[in-house]
């Protein structure tokens, strides 16, 4: 029978043999796949591994701290962890940019630049870790999407700009639920193991139009409230993905005796099997009501909350 503990044990042993005394580089995104891959490598070769975590300032609330707590010097694993605070760099590049594909391209390019700079500082790299899982292998091997709807930014696309000998992909044979199991087996905290998919360009594609630090803060705070209430309601497991997006629309409201002219937040939640198609999830009205009143009360400059009832197609899951 399939045993996760023996998978982990065998893989760690095989990695150790393969890598010998080589140096290993891993781009850590904080997502499930890269986190589990990184911990396997840490178990196998310890300080021969360097994990680079680029904080592009487009992460969810507290995410940068959460990743650093697990992989940083105060965490349980023995590895070299580099957190690059690139927030300002990304904000500068994104200033004034409104078009979704431009935003994606700028973020992808800047990510590569930052990562390349860090790789140079490390010097010799023999192996590059990729968190590729089985569905990624199948998708790229047998066609995948024929029309480019969005240019996907992924930590997966690194190989051509870092000089290394070989790629290691310890999760290549696993499905997502098996990756999560392996993660638990390795002692990775539940908030990382259970993390829902999060796009490479981060919150930039959940803010319609120009990205500013103020708007990032709004969407982070609204999203954190939404996630907290979904968890409180105990419905997270039924949903494929759920998040808040900041529309670029302002509308008139009233607060006390004052007229307001502020932003609208959109709540998205979908059920899906493969993320290629999705249905808008029927979140209980009481939950939406609670989330709405908390957002308008707790997040400055939001005076309206909308629920996205659209399936994919015709909408995509993300808003850009
Ligand atoms: P869409 O919005 O196209 O998204 O319906 C389908 C799934 O892909 C995720 N997504 C991305 N993931 N890099 C990623 O790693 C990206 O650039 C990217 N864009 C979208 C999205 O969150 C959803 O799960």
- 50-74 pLDDT, tens digit each: 999 999 999 999 999 999 999 999 9
Q: What distance in angstroms lies between residue 175's CA and the mean position of ligand 1's atoms?
A: 18
* Stretch 289-302: mean pLDDT: 98
Cβ–ligand 1 distance for 87 under 6 Å, the answer: no
Tokens of 143: 């066609």
Q: What pLDDT does 144 receive? A: 43
Ligand 1 atom having least distance to the Cα of 31: 15
Question: Which residue has a Cα nearest atom 7 of ligand 1?
Answer: 275
pLDDT category of residue 162 using cuts at 50, 70 and 90 = confident
Cβ–ligand 1 distance for 197 under 6 Å, the answer: yes
Domain boundaries defined on the chain? 4-193, 207-307
- 81-131 pLDDT, tens digit each: 999 999 999 999 999 999 999 999 999 999 999 999 999 999 999 999 999
Q: Are 289 and 296 in contact (CB under 8 A)?
A: no
> Up-side HSE of residue 155: CA atoms within 13 Å toward CB?
31
Q: What distance in angstroms lies between residue 91's CA and the mean position of ligand 1's atoms?
A: 21
Cβ–ligand 1 distance for 11 under 6 Å, the answer: no
Contacts of 285 (CB under 8 A, 6+ apart): none
How much is the pTM? 0.92
CATH architecture of the domain with range 207-307: 2-Layer Sandwich (3.30)
Cβ–ligand 1 distance for 150 under 6 Å, the answer: yes
Domains 4-193 and 207-307 share a fold: no
Q: What is the three-state SS of 270-289?
A: EECCCCCCEEECCCCHHHHH
Q: What distance in angstroms lies between residue 44's CA and the mean position of ligand 1's atoms?
A: 31
The mean pLDDT value of the chain amounts to 93
* Stretch 171-193: mean pLDDT: 95
- 237-246 pLDDT, tens digit each: 999 999 999 9
- CATH fold of 4-193 reads Rossmann fold (3.40.50)
Q: What distance in angstroms lies between residue 276's CA and the mean position of ligand 1's atoms?
A: 10
Other Cβ atoms closer than 10 A to 222: 28
Q: What distance in angstroms lies between residue 197's CA and the mean position of ligand 1's atoms?
A: 8
More confidently predicted of 155 and 304:
304
């Amino acid at each position: 029978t399939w045993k996760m503990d023996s998978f982990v044990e065998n893989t760690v042993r095989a990695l150790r043999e393969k890598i010998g005394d080589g140096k290993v580089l891993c781009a850590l995104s904080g997502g499930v796949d890269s986190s589990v891959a990184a911990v396997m490598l840490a178990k196998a070769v310890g300080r021969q591994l360097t994990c680079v975590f680029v904080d592009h300032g487009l992460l969810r609330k507290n995410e940068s701290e959460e990743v650093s707590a697990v992989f940083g010097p105060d965490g349980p694993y023995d590895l070299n962890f580099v957190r690059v605070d690139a927030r300002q760099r990304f904000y500068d590049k994104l200033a004034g940019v409104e078009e979704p594909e431009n935003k994606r391209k700028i973020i992808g390019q800047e990510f590569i630049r930052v990562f390349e700079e860090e790789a140079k500082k490390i010097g010799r790299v023999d192996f590059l870790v990729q968190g590729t899982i089985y569905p990624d292998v199948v998708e790229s091997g047998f066609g995948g999407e024929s029309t480019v709807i969005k240019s996907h930014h992924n930590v997966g696309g690194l190989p051509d700009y870092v000089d290394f000998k070989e790629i290691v992909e310890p999760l290549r044979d696993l499905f997502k639920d098996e990756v999560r199991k392996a993660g638990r087996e390795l002692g990775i905290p539940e908030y990382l193991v259970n993390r829902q998919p999060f796009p490479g360009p981060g919150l930039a594609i959940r803010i319609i139009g120009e990205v500013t630090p103020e708007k990032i803060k709004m969407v982070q705070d609204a999203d954190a409230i939404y996630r907290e209430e979904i968890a409180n309601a105990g419905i997270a497991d039924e949903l494929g993905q759920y998040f808040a997006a900041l529309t670029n629309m302002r509308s008139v409201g009233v607060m006390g005796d004052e007229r307001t002219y502020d932003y609208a937040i959109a709540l998205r939640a979908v059920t899906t099997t493969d993320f290629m198609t999705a249905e808008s999830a029927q979140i209980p009205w009481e939950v939406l009501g609670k989330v709405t009143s908390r957002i308008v009360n707790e997040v400055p400059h939001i005076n309206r909350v909308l629920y996205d009832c659209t399936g994919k197609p015709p909408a995509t899951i993300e808003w850009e």
